[in-house]
Amino acid sequence: MIERIRAMSATVIEPRATQSAVSLVSGETWNGKLFDGDWNTASNTLSVLEPATGETLGEVGLSDPATMGQTVARAKEGQREWASWSTDKRAAVMREAARLMETEREAVVDMIVRETGGVRGKGYVEIQGTIDELYHSAALLIQPEGELLPSPNPSRLSLARRVPIGIVGVIAPWNFPMLLAMRSVAPAIALGNAVILKPDPQTSIVGGALLARMFELAGLPKGVFSVVNGGPDVGEALVEAAGVRMITFTGSTAVGRRVGEVAGRNLKRVALELGGKSPFIVLDDADLPAAASAGAWGSFLHQGQICMASGRHIVQRRVADDYIELLAQKAKALPVGDPFRAEVAIGPIINAKQVERVHKIVTDTVAAGAQVAAGGTFEGLFYNPTVLTNVTRGMPAYDLEIFGPVAPVIIVEDEEEAIRVANDTEYGLSGAVQTGSLERGLRVARQIRSGLVHINDQTIHDMAGIPFGGSGASGNGSRFGSTTNIDEFTEWQWMTIGGQPTRYPF
């Protein structure tokens, strides 16, 4: 795995020389402040900690839910100006934002590693994905803006055009805070909307302050992008706020249900990207060493704290013992530690509460009859990669999204049972099939109910140019990426045009 992380790091573009006057990371800009187009000193602050050490990385301004209306009013003013800009000018701002991020790549990656607890390869993937979202969003602006419709009156044109929604509220998670914010923020802004972003309080620097500084330096008009910081009360105020026309939320299914309820009551458009329990199917003709490599990557990457993580390894009995042995070897060999100060494969879990939750799922599953083939122990926030065997329906590790470095293995007799188990979940985000037969892989993959599915690969994949999203408890069917962003972040307006005024009998 270390070799693969090195390879990922080696493929990134070399950063340009950092310009001292253009600093995204410097706390001098954002420490103790909030951003609504200007940096305003906050009455209270929120500490952002490094999970690996507990060290304070910075203090961001803490928002007051009672002032959300003021932020919305500023956003309305900025959005009116921004929507009037030509598409060329808007695209230029998005490209400049991407260039700024490229310029400070190494410093930003350092902060991603320290703030999220992810290894350095994960940091490079996150910043490159962020840059890609900016460039892809700029490219949206070369797409047609509407359609010419048939008109029963030959003297009048009838057309439908896409117009900005207005103000979009974005609530982003802590695991990939920069990328998963930018997946909504970049296309929404490029298409003429204003955005109010609420990052997770645990990752408010790379997930909020750095993005605000980036857009400020890129020349975005004031008010078009704002950041509000805080806990659930600030998020609820954003969802409730009059004038916010759409909410995009990435996070847990439980919180997503609440967001959907509040947004729906206020007749807002809502896009939910929620949890997952992605099946990783290993059929009896699979290349087992390759499958174990992919399975380990899918379950242990970023400590398993990814919605697309391989949540259930569904393995045919004929190859189960060999697969479990290979997967357990992988787990035992992965070094665990501080990813900013040592070369490791597994960093810290985000906080102590999450460690307790992961360990309770593991111990309750073992108490119900499962066995530990590797791991099952932790020290502080560092949870060792864990393989559980003899996992069956009804056990916590079978049913629950773990969000930790745990690979539950479920043994099945045949292909039909593998498909049945894969679909035995309320989630529907990602899936994967390992097999030596392309025909067999296609047959199985087509029967997995999920928004994403991969043959002879693992479950964690995302790119700016794909329609990303899930269904069921994994989301409400919204899709981020590529030109599907146009559907998400604009709405239709019908317009007719005539050279002469139409006269009526009244």
List the structure tokens of 198.
Answer: 């609420």
CA atoms within 13 A on the CB side of 391: 30
Beta strand spans in 370-481 (E): 371-374, 378-379, 382-383, 386-389, 406-412, 432-434, 454-455
- Active site residue ranges: 273, 307
Cα gap 204→122, rounded to integer Å = 18
Q: In degrees, to the nearest 5, what angle opens at C-alpha 460 toward C-alphas 334 and 453?
A: 135
Cα gap 469→450, rounded to integer Å = 9
The two beta strands, 371-374 and 386-389, are: antiparallel
State the amino acid at position 39 in one-letter form.
W
- Phi, psi (5° rounding) for residue 226? -130, 155
- Phi, psi (5° rounding) for residue 114? -70, -40
CB 25 within 8 Å of CB 16: no
Q: Which runs of consecutive H residues, i.e. helices, occur in 117-231?
A: 120-140, 177-190, 210-218
Cα gap 399→486, rounded to integer Å = 35
Cα gap 223→201, rounded to integer Å = 22
Helix, coil or strand: residue 108: helix
Partners of 367 in beta bridges: none
DSSP state, 23? Answer: -
State the amino acid at position 148 in one-letter form.
L
DSSP string, 200-261: -GGGTIIIIIHHHHHHHHHTPPTTSEEE---SHHHHHHHHH-TT--EEEEES-HHHHHHHHH
Q: How far is CA 6 from CA 139, 341, 344, in A?
A: 30, 16, 11
CB 238 within 8 Å of CB 259: no
Interacting residues of 505 by C-beta distance below 8 A, sequence separation 6+: none
CB 347 within 8 Å of CB 303: yes
Task: Identify the H or E element spanning 489.
Answer: helix 484-489
CB 378 within 8 Å of CB 385: no
